[in-house]
Amino acid sequence: QSTFETGFGGLGGESDEPIEIESDELEVRDQEGLAIFIGNVVVVQGESRMKTAQLTVHYDTENQETEDAAPAAQGPGGSQQISKLVATGGVVVTTKEQTATGNTGTVDMKTNMLELDGDVTLTQGQNVVNGNKLIVNLDTGHARVLSDSRVRVLLVPNSANQN
Amino acid sequence: MTTTDMRFLEHDADAEAEDRIRARASARRHTRFVKTLRVLLPLGGMAIVALIFGTAIVKSFLPVGVGTLNVTSEGLEMNDPNLAGRLNDGRAYKVSAARAMQSFSDTSRITLTDLVATLKASEDQDITVNSRGGLFDTDDEWLTLSDGIVLTTTDGYRADLSSARLDFRNGSMVSDEPVAIGSEKFDLTANSLDVQEEGKVVRFVGDVHLTLHRGPETSSQ
């Protein structure tokens, strides 16, 4: 088991640019708290882009929040919390400087971690890192590529400008 | 350690204070794209879509009040008919129209002009459906709406369809023409809409395009 640590940055800080999501279909299953984008899913914001075959958004609806029942029943627009995003059927995340690919991807909103699984590659310029798993801490932008066997790192000297 | 909540939605003072501290503290660059994944929250508002279409299906039409009634060659014409009632789950609804015509040739068919239907979705949420054209079949219990439909909710969601067919028996609403839904938080367009099981499943098919607006944190939905 070996890991490769890097930053998954280069995307800039705060942004209030809108997020665009396109797909062939969208299915909302409210009682199950699911919004499923199906077919050629592209999520774009600024220079960042994610492409996948299917993106499932899991959100908690009021009735699922059992612990402290919300005092007044909130209106339909009540605050639903998104708990998880799952991308399947191949995932490509491209930013201004880096590209990450994997078979599946999940974003856990509770722990703020992004994970790509299954022949993962992380590319910056000519530098390519391969592994089985990429884990990014959404808060810090800190990324780790893990591999069962050996992480293969191809660093082409003085190709990427060190930012 | 508090779990990382949906700070985007939290709007009480200490959450904002906590945000400012966190923002200053995290020196390292955040990834704008991945960071914004946390702000996919308006998507949570998709539930409203399900609700809009779910509750917009008026369960049963019971003619109650009929304005002036006159008999024409084609059929019985009612001016500003209106009816009100309660769905079987108790929510109140009101339907009115500028004109309704019940044809002699097929008395189960009522043609409606400038139909307005309002439905109480919850204490603070009403849904209003305006449609220029409508054809209601009392036997088979379906209603087609045509020539432009606008559906609005009290908290600012709006859906524009050109036509729709509501089937009250199986609780479905289908539109095979472009649909647009908008709100302060998001805009959604698609080529067609298919609502099944009274809104449990809402499918948008064809060129789905969702834009999540960002900008200043607005109050919760």
The model's pLDDT over B87-106, given as tens digits with 9 standing for 90+, comes to 666 777 777 888 888 888 88
The pLDDT of residue A62: 56
| Of B35 and A103, the one with more pLDDT | A103
Residue B65 DSSP class: B
- Angstrom distances, CA of residue A102 to CA of A95, A106, A134, B52: 15, 11, 8, 37
The pLDDT of residue A158: 62
Largest CA distance in chain A: 61
Helix segments in B56-171, DSSP class H: none
Task: Please state the rounded mean pLDDT for residues B46-52.
Answer: 49
The residue of A14, A22, A25 whose CB has the most chain B CBs within 10 angstroms, and thus the best one to mutate to test that interface, is: A25
The pLDDT of residue B30: 44
The token duo for A114 is 């992004």
Q: Return the minimum-mean-pLDDT range out of A35-49, B51-65, B71-85.
A: B51-65
CB distance A20–B209 less than 8 Å?
yes
CB atoms within 10 A of CB A2: 13
CB distance A139–B32 less than 8 Å?
no
The token duo for B204 is 């948008």
| Of B5 and A157, the one with more pLDDT | A157
**Cβ contact A112:B26 at 8 Å:** no
Q: A 74-133 residues with CB below 8 A of B?
A: 75-82, 85, 93, 95, 107, 109-112, 114
Max mean pLDDT range (A53-62, A68-77, B76-85, B173-182): B173-182
Q: Does this model's pTM top 0.80?
A: no
Which ipTM was obtained for this model? 0.77
The pLDDT of residue B103: 82
The pLDDT of residue B133: 92
The pLDDT of residue B215: 54
CB distance A141–B43 less than 8 Å?
no
Distance CA A32, CA A64 (A): 9
Residue given tokens 């066997």 in the structure block: A149
The residue of A34, A38, A45 whose CB has the most chain B CBs within 10 angstroms, and thus the best one to mutate to test that interface, is: A45
Residue given tokens 């009392």 in the structure block: B138
The pLDDT of residue B12: 54
Q: Which of B7, B35, B23 is nearest to A113 (CA)?
A: B35
Q: Which of B153, B186, B163, B149 is nearest to B51 (CA)?
A: B153
Report whether pLDDT(B108) > 60. yes
Distance CA B146, CA B98 (A): 15
Query: What percent of chain A shows pLDDT beyond 70?
Result: 74
Distance CA A104, CA A49 (A): 15
Task: Please state the rounded mean pLDDT for residues A12-22.
Answer: 68
Report whether pLDDT(A82) > 80. no
